[in-house]
Chains A and B, each alone.
Chain A
């Protein structure tokens, strides 16, 4: 759930991701070999496939489900998985297949929301802290304070205060993960800032914005992309925890977390209600973790232990 602190936290300094450096122009020539190496990376490919299955299910939710996920059918309560009900039914006779698929849609949407907010604010704050020495200390102390709270506890605190709901869950998770992303961006900016081509740009009279936008940030992308992939995984997991605790989207809207919470009381008689959404969650997170590992191995080769 909250394992990103191990990657982006304060203590394990040797895990900080060094940026891929090199001349900024080389990007277009690099692109295709990177793709080829990614496609040769078995774990990356299997992660992509797992994630693709979930993403497709979420996208095509209207097409691949027949029964409305909210439709109650009292006569069909607690039907085990079978031909009529692929994933069985719950205590209200609702189709678990429909609910799990629509849950995927919400989970991925929330993950995407958190990742987008993270990308914007993490990059902005990280770039400011890394580039302007004056801002570094205050911004990083604030980040430290946020990171002093365990991820899930702070997210719980924020959603509990703002009130339950998926939008608030996105806000809370973005607030919790942004300092961590900012730290990673800052670490890259600190290194790239000292490169000769940055000095050259400065000597030619480029302004701060131009230097950051065109010379520094493009060369800090690799660790950021890797980080965001993992953030996606953690956001999906944490959202499930929040909605399990009743802080995410409210029933009857199905989320994997609240399906598991509702199914909990029937776990003896109807275990499928809890087992299936949990498996869906695990598959999604596993896929994203594999994707992240693959991206890290290929984009950020210095982190890889030589095989």
Chain B
């Protein structure tokens, strides 16, 4: 196990390096003079010059790159143009909000996705199967930001059951948090539920055709044990591998969803940074999310290797 973890850690270093390089290069893509954009169109030439100096834009490319890495190693992602605060501080302070909603959506996704996928597989070609598959297909086709708006119209405006936006910290008021985050979590989770239901159904169908399932049935095990113990456990392997990806999609969906529900998370921070061209925040936010997800995928891989020793040996070759 040790060598495997080490190998995975080492192999993720070049990727991490490239991720930081891509984040840096984003700023270089900005056409024209970013200093003018930042200082504003009616800034005096002196002001523009000061901004340029402040951002280090007057330095040659390699100096900018080196100082970006030097700052990165010190945990300095720059200063937000707009808020005038440290980017790392601002983003990290908002990360828990986004993660808590993404986790809520993940729980919903896993519950509904796996349950409906298994049900569909067990009742293959029945009306249950067809209903689940239709629902899954609609889930993967409906844009999440539009779904969010429709949920607001239905549940907040017409029925008045849930608030149409805002956020309550889960540490202060768990029930309030649930109320505030249920609609956002559903909008985020819909697409992933559909995907997961389809994956679960197809792997479950495959597993149910295996010899060991026939053996389990032949030796007289009750059906719920065959399904629950033998089939489900094996059908979960591909599901575990996609959990990392599902989480990353849920987290990245938060940009739009948090904007719609006015939730003060990382997503809405990025959303407003985009509108106001606050490049350091965009850059830093992207880097933070990508790094978080890289680490998360590493964790998933290690867990996966722990549960399925074949992975350890295969990757070792």
Binding site for B on A (CB under 8 A): 1-3, 5-6, 9-15, 141-142, 144-146, 148-154, 156-158, 160-163, 233, 237, 240-241, 244-247, 260, 264, 267-268, 271, 274-275, 278, 281-282, 285-286, 289-290, 305-307
- Which residue of chain B is the closest to A2 with respect to CB atoms? B249
Binding site for A on B (CB under 8 A): 14-15, 18-19, 21-23, 26-27, 29-31, 124-125, 137-138, 140-146, 149-150, 152-153, 157, 191-192, 195, 199, 202, 205-206, 209, 238, 241-242, 244-246, 248-249, 251-253, 255-256, 259-260, 270-271, 274-275, 277, 279, 282-283, 285-286, 289-290, 293-294, 297, 300-301
Known: A11-B241, A15-B238, A156-B274. A150 touches B252 (CB 8 A): yes
| A289 partner residues in chain B, CB cutoff 8 A | 137, 140-141
A163 to B15, CA, bound (A): 27
| B241 partner residues in chain A, CB cutoff 8 A | 11-14
Asked whether, in the complex, the Cβ of A245 is within 8 Å of the Cβ of B143, the reply is no
Known: A157-B26, A264-B149, A307-B125. A245 touches B253 (CB 8 A): no
| A145 partner residues in chain B, CB cutoff 8 A | 15, 18-19, 21-22
Asked whether, in the complex, the Cβ of A142 is within 8 Å of the Cβ of B18, the reply is yes
A154 to B289, CA, bound (A): 10
A128 to B299, CA, bound (A): 31
In this complex, which of B31, B145, B199, B301 has the most chain A Cβ atoms within 10 angstroms of its Cβ?
Answer: B145
Closest CB in chain B relative to A103 CB, distance in Å: 13
- Which residue of chain A is the closest to B18 with respect to CB atoms? A145
Asked whether, in the complex, the Cβ of B256 is within 8 Å of the Cβ of A10, the reply is no
Asked whether, in the complex, the Cβ of B152 is within 8 Å of the Cβ of A267, the reply is yes
Between-chain CB contacts (< 8 Å), 28 pairs:
A2-B252, A3-B191, A5-B245, A10-B297, A11-B242, A14-B241, A15-B238, A142-B18, A146-B22, A149-B290, A151-B252, A152-B252, A153-B270, A153-B289, A154-B22, A156-B274, A157-B26, A160-B279, A162-B30, A245-B259, A245-B275, A260-B146, A271-B153, A281-B146, A282-B138, A282-B143, A285-B142, A307-B125
Asked whether, in the complex, the Cβ of A5 is within 8 Å of the Cβ of B249, the reply is yes
Asked whether, in the complex, the Cβ of A237 is within 8 Å of the Cβ of B143, the reply is yes
Asked whether, in the complex, the Cβ of B143 is within 8 Å of the Cβ of A156, the reply is no
Closest CB in chain B relative to A261 CB, distance in Å: 9
Partner of A12, one of B27, B144, B238, B290: B238
Asked whether, in the complex, the Cβ of B245 is within 8 Å of the Cβ of A161, the reply is no
Closest CB in chain A relative to B206 CB, distance in Å: 6
Closest CB in chain B relative to A73 CB, distance in Å: 25
| A163 partner residues in chain B, CB cutoff 8 A | 30-31
A11 to B244, CA, bound (A): 8
Contacts beyond the supplied A3-B192, A247-B274, A289-B141: 12 A-B pairs with Cβ under 8 Å: A1-B253, A2-B253, A11-B245, A11-B300, A12-B238, A150-B249, A150-B252, A160-B277, A240-B145, A267-B149, A286-B137, A305-B206
A268 to B154, CA, bound (A): 10
A268 to B153, CA, bound (A): 7
Partner of A244, one of B19, B256, B290: B256
Asked whether, in the complex, the Cβ of A246 is within 8 Å of the Cβ of B274, the reply is yes
Known: A141-B14, A278-B149. A305 touches B143 (CB 8 A): no
